[in-house]
Amino acid sequence: MTERATAIAHPNIALVKYWGKRDIPLNLPAAGSLSLTLAGIRTRTTVLRADAYSMSLGGEEIVGKKAERVFAFLRRMQALSEYKGGLRIESDNDFPTAAGLASSSSGFAALTLAADAVLQTEMSPQDLSVWSRIGSGSAARSIFGGIVEMAAGERVDGTDAYASQVVDENHWPMSCVIALTTTGEKPYGSTEAMNHTSDTSPYFGPWIESVAPDVHEAKTAIMGRDFAHLAQIVERSCLRMHASAMAADPGILYWNGLTVEVIHHVRALRKGGLGVCFTIDAGPHVKVFCAQSDEDKVKAALADLPGVQGVIATRGGPGAYLV
Ligand code: DP6
């Protein structure tokens, strides 16, 4: 009997964004997405058999809404298992949590993998991706390494809404340099914000229509290692996602002034000949993709910008694994 298991998962950053659901209870995405799984930052999660449900994050006990989301997810997974007792979760991130750095992607991927081991549910990588998606849509992608595609799926039960690897992290050695534009947590979580966008934004429909062609085109650019083409798609996907959110009622604006300055800086660097492009998630930080050979240059260029709180260099990395 497995009493405890520990899993490590890396966050992923979407090249083509996920923003909107076709089913809320099953957490089914309204469109596909494409991402890079990042080595260099990680979530480590241990799941242990226990008398009751409890959870700590970074050594601090978590109660309330955040914990309830996790426990509800685990109860659903546990319905597949013979084990009827409680579970304790001990998790930590080596990067700021809930700041728009995709901690829910690595969080639910690590949790699903460790829980699968403790609950002895013996899931395939595809099942693990489906279950991670139920926890958080972006987490479905962190089960796999390198460049990963999430399928929107068509079935109402969501069994075809899972991620798969497009190419591994060695196909095109890429870095993602994160420029931190502020400290602290983001004002609104991605789940509520994307639901608010789909409920109230007149741009939501056009946004969703644009995703499948972008995923297709981005995969072509990746297969051909065509950075200029990829950069064009990555930036427009990010800007269209944020445009749909900004057009909600009331509008959702994740950016601060520095976010905009970093965008201009990245475009100036590209004009100057550096292969860089930006993306922004549900927070004010800017993530800059580049070739690993340009990582130091990009790090220095971003760290030099007045106001930038720090830079974190990450690289394409592996999927989730048990330790
Ligand atoms: C902006 O995966 O956090 O990072 O499924 O509601 O948990 P839920 O949403 P989540 O949303 C991620 C949104 C994003 C874009 C992306 O990662 O594709």
Instruction: Give the residue, by CA position, lying nearest to ligand 1 atom 14.
Output: 281
> What's the whole-model pTM score?
0.96
The whole-number average pLDDT for the span 54-76 is 95
Per-residue confidence (pLDDT) for residue 102, from 0 to 100: 67
Report the C-alpha gap between 310 and 303 in whole angstroms.
6
Per-residue confidence (pLDDT) for residue 2, from 0 to 100: 82
Beta pairing class for 147-150 and 33-39: antiparallel
| Mutate-to-test residue for ligand 1 from 10, 18, 105, highest number of ligand atoms within 8 A of CB | 18
Per-residue confidence (pLDDT) for residue 104, from 0 to 100: 86
Q: Is the CB of 43 under 6 A from ligand 1?
A: no
Residue-wise pLDDT tens digits, 130-140:
999 999 999 99
Per-residue confidence (pLDDT) for residue 99, from 0 to 100: 57
The whole-number average pLDDT for the span 118-133 is 98
Q: Is the CB of 133 under 6 A from ligand 1?
A: no
Answer whether 130's CB lies under 8 Å from 76's CB.
no
The whole-number average pLDDT for the span 71-84 is 96
Q: Is the CB of 240 under 6 A from ligand 1?
A: no
The whole-number average pLDDT for the span 207-227 is 98
Q: Is the CB of 106 under 6 A from ligand 1?
A: no
Report the C-alpha gap between 162 and 158 in whole angstroms.
8
CA angle 102-192-240, nearest 5°? 70
Per-residue confidence (pLDDT) for residue 1, from 0 to 100: 65
**Which ligand 1 atom is nearest residue 281's CA?**
1
Please say if the pLDDT value at position 101 is more than 80.
Answer: no
Report the C-alpha gap between 48 and 87 in whole angstroms.
6
Answer whether 194's CB lies under 8 Å from 19's CB.
yes
Answer whether 254's CB lies under 8 Å from 246's CB.
no
Looking from the CA of 149 toward its CB, the CA atoms found within 13 Å total: 17
Who's near 170: CB < 8 A, 6+ residues apart?
A: 146, 316
Residue-wise pLDDT tens digits, 9-31:
999 999 999 999 999 999 999 99
| Mutate-to-test residue for ligand 1 from 194, 211, 278, highest number of ligand atoms within 8 A of CB | 194
Per-residue confidence (pLDDT) for residue 257, from 0 to 100: 97
Beta pairing class for 54-57 and 60-61: antiparallel
Residue 27 CA, ligand 1 centroid: distance in Å: 11
The whole-number average pLDDT for the span 191-202 is 97
Please say if the pLDDT value at position 118 is more than 80.
Answer: yes
Q: Is the CB of 129 under 6 A from ligand 1?
A: no
Please say if the pLDDT value at position 233 is more than 70.
Answer: yes
Instruction: Give the residue, by CA position, lying nearest to ligand 1 atom 12.
Output: 138
Share the mean pLDDT of the chain.
95
Is residue 153 classed exposed, middle or buried when 0-12, 13-18 and 19+ CB atoms within 10 A define those classes?
buried
Q: Is the CB of 56 under 6 A from ligand 1?
A: no
Residue 51 CA, ligand 1 centroid: distance in Å: 32
Least confident of 153-162, 179-188, 238-247: 179-188
Residue-wise pLDDT tens digits, 287-297:
999 999 999 99
CA 296 to chain CA centroid, Å, is: 24
